[in-house]
Each structure stands twice: as structure tokens, then as C-alpha cells.
Homo-oligomer: A and B are copies of this chain.
Amino acid sequence: MTEKQRKILDIALELFAQDGYNSTSTNKIAQEAGVSEGLIFKHFGSKEGLLDYLVEEGVALMNEELDNLMRIENSVDRLKATLRFPKAVIDKNPAYWKVQMSIKFANHEIVEKYHNSSFMGKAMGIISETFEELNFENPQMETQLLMQIIASFFMSLINDEMENYAEMVSFLEKKYNLI
């Protein structure tokens, strides 16, 4: 990976997150990266190829975080960490998830392409296992509900719409009897 190649990716990620994929021109990316526009296409083939690369990086990051979560042995601690997961992940790399969200609703064809490589399955596995270990009455529905809640937290955090995240976490900890 060349220095300029990395620069293109970094600037593209920043601009995609800030202005959206569709509203960011390859011309602007080239200018801000201090690079000729042609180089983008030499390296990534197309604008969508550039997005592909960034999405893959995001997926890799998310899988890493999920692996860390999975490694927590104690079920109670794992569930606690799961509740804190959205904020922890977003604080590390907000741009990747802003891009993911912006394409999820705007570009239907592109979303279809990425849908398979989703990490939802892995996340569901972790949560499901946790609720089973904790002997919840209906682990499947508990899993599905918590997945919804976490997804919603992701969206709110990306839009800076959740000031009292910590309070919400401790509220949920009480509900789940984790004290």
C-alpha cells in the first residue's frame, strides 16, 4: 500500500462520513488528498471500488471488536460489555459507521452487495449464547430485542442524539439483573 493510496482512503472515508457517498466527488477526494484524480481510478478502479475497500476495512474492524467481546468468559460481564458495545466501537472509529449508515438507506444496489458480509450473525450468536448461559426464560426473543436496542443505540450515537448513554446502560443493567 502506497503512501498516496492510504491518503486517498483516509480522505475518502472522512468525506464520505461527512457529506455522504453520493455527495462526495472523486475530484474533491483527489484535491484534498493532494493527488491526481486519475490515480484514484488506477488504484481502485472506480468510485464504488474505493467504497468497497473502505467497507471491507470497516467489516474487519467490527469483526475484531466482536471477537474481543466473545472472549469475555463471564456471562454477566459479557452482557455488560455488550450494552457498552455501541459507544465503545463508535468512539474508536466513528467515520466507518457513519459511512455504513449513509449507504444503508441511500444506495439500494450497493447495500445488497454488502448484505452478505454482515456481522449481524456473529453478534446474534454472542448475545444468544449469553442469554442461554444466564438461563433467561426466552433467550431467542431476548436476543432479538437486545439486537434491536443495540442497533438503535448505534444510530442515535452516530447522529449525536444520545447524551445520557451511561444512564441508559445502568438502567438496562438493572433490568437484566446485572446490578
Spell out A's residues near B (CB within 8 Å).
Answer: 18-23, 101-102, 104-108, 138, 141, 144-145, 148-149, 151-153, 155-156, 164, 167-168, 171-172
Identity of the chain B residue whose Cβ is nearest the Cβ of A100 in the assembled complex? B105
For the complex of A and B, list the 4 residue pairs with the smallest distance between their C-beta atoms, beginning with the closest.
Answer: A106-B106, A152-B152, A148-B152, A141-B171
For the complex with contacts A105-B105, A148-B152, 6 further pairs of A-B residues with Cβ separation under 8 Å are: A20-B105, A20-B108, A104-B105, A105-B106, A141-B167, A151-B155
Number of identical monomers bound together in the oligomeric complex: 2
Within the complex, the shortest CB–CB distance from A144 to chain B, in Å, comes to 7
* Shortest Cβ distance from residue A102 to the other chain B in the assembled complex, whole angstroms: 5
Name the distance in Å between A23's Cβ and chain B's nearest Cβ. 7
B residues near A149, Cβ cutoff 8 Å = 145, 148-149, 152
Q: Which residue on B lies nearest to A150, using beta carbons?
A: B152
Contacts of A152 in B (CB 8 A): 148-149, 151-152, 155
Q: Are A20 and B106 in contact (CB under 8 A)?
A: yes
> From residue A98, how far is it (CB to closest CB) to chain B in Å?
8
Chain A to chain B contacts (Cβ below 8 Å), 6 pairs? A20-B105, A104-B105, A105-B105, A141-B167, A141-B171, A149-B152
